[in-house]
Amino acid sequence: MRPAIAIIGGTCLATLDTLKITHRETLSTPYGEPSSPLIYGEFGERNVVFLARHGQHHTLPPHRINYRANLWILHHIGVKQVIATAAVGGIRTGMEPGTFAFPDQIIDYTWGRHSTFFEDNLTHVTHIDFTEPYCPELRKRLIQGARDLGMTARESCTYAATQGPRLETAAEIRRLEKDGCDIVGMTGMPEASLARELGLHYAACAVVANWAAGKGAGAITMTEIERNLASGMEQVKKLLARVIPALETS
C-alpha cells in the first residue's frame, strides 16, 4: 500500500523509532536526489512514509537541501498530507525553549534556493494562492492532538524562514519581530510553497530549541539546541502517534 501521509523529519528527528518500518526505497527525481531514502512504515493502521530533511546522518545544511526533490518524490508516490517537523528559535515572549508551535503564517527571507516547479517548459505562467500557507485542516488536527496530550503549544504564529546556516544577529531578530514573526527557522521555505504547488496538504509542527539571537542570555550553543530538542522531539513522536492514526487518507 502506498502511503498517503508523509512526515518530514527535521533536526533531531532523523529517525522515527515509533514507526513500525516495513521497507526502504532510494529514489531519484527529475530534480535530483531527495535528502534521504524513503522509510515506509505503519503508525497504528496508517501507512506512513518518513523522509529525513537533513539526510539520514544530518549532513545537509538548510540551504543545500533539495526541497524540490523531497516534495516531488512524496507527491510522486501518492502522498496527500505532509507533516513537517522543525526546530526553531523563539522570538516573542511565550516562545521559550521547549514550546510547541503550529505556524499559520510564514515570511520568506531565504534567497538563491530553487523555489518553484513552475519555471521551465510552461504553457502559461502559474501563480499559486498562498494566502494561507499551511493546511488549516491538518493544523487543526495537530493542535487538537497537542491539546489532548496537555502540551504547551502556540496555536497561531508566524514563522520567519531565514537562509542560514549561520544563526541570526540580534538586530536581524529585532527586525523579524517588527515584521510580526514569532519563531525563526531555516527550512520552512521553499518547502511550504513547493508543497502547495503540488497540491499537498502541508502543516508544520515546530519545537522551540533556543531563544533567538539577543532574546536569551548570551550566545546560542549547539549543546543547548540539542538538549532542548532531545526532549522536544520525544514529545513530537507522541503527538504524531496520537494524530496520524486518526487522519483520513483519501
Q: Does 209 bind ligand HPA (CB under 6 A)?
A: yes
The Cα–Cα gap between 84 and 220 comes to 24
With CB atoms as reference, the residue minimizing the distance to ligand HPA is 89
The smaller minimum CB distance to ligand HPA, of residues 84 and 200, is found at 84
The smaller minimum CB distance to ligand HPA, of residues 147 and 166, is found at 166
The CB-of-213 to ligand HPA minimum distance in angstroms stands at: 6
Terminal CA-CA length for the chain: 13
Sequence-ordered strand ranges (E) for the chain: 5-9, 20-25, 38-43, 46-52, 81-90, 100-101, 105-108, 153-154, 158-161, 183-185, 201-211
The Cα–Cα gap between 68 and 51 comes to 13
Nearest to 10 by CA among 67, 51, 70, 69: 51
Number of residues forming the site for ligand HPA (CB under 6 A): 13
Q: Restricting to residues 147-186, name those near ligand HPA by CB under 6 A.
A: 162, 167-168, 184-186
Q: Restricting to residues 215-234, name those near ligand HPA by CB under 6 A.
A: 225
Q: Does 88 bind ligand HPA (CB under 6 A)?
A: yes
35 close to 66: Cβ distance less than 8 angstroms: yes
Q: Does 212 bind ligand HPA (CB under 6 A)?
A: yes
Q: Does 210 bind ligand HPA (CB under 6 A)?
A: yes
Return the range that interacts with ligand HPA (CB under 6 A); candidates 24-32, 42-50, 82-90, 241-249. 82-90
The CB-of-140 to ligand HPA minimum distance in angstroms stands at: 25
191 close to 197: Cβ distance less than 8 angstroms: no
> How crowded is residue 20: how many other Cβ atoms within 10 Å of its Cβ?
12
The smaller minimum CB distance to ligand HPA, of residues 99 and 210, is found at 210
Query: What are 198's three cell numbers?
Result: 503540488
Return the range that interacts with ligand HPA (CB under 6 A); candidates 94-102, 103-111, 112-120, 205-213. 205-213
Return the range that interacts with ligand HPA (CB under 6 A); candidates 46-54, 117-125, 151-159, 204-212. 204-212
Under 8 Å CB-to-CB from 94, ≥6 apart: which residues? 154
The Cα–Cα gap between 247 and 244 comes to 5
146 close to 100: Cβ distance less than 8 angstroms: yes
Q: Does 83 bind ligand HPA (CB under 6 A)?
A: no
The smaller minimum CB distance to ligand HPA, of residues 13 and 212, is found at 212
Q: Does 89 bind ligand HPA (CB under 6 A)?
A: yes
The smaller minimum CB distance to ligand HPA, of residues 205 and 212, is found at 212
Q: Does 195 bind ligand HPA (CB under 6 A)?
A: no
Dihedral, 64, 67, 73, 75 alpha carbons, nearest 10: 170
Residues of this chain that interact with ligand HPA (CB under 6 A) are: 87-89, 162, 167-168, 184-186, 209-210, 212, 225
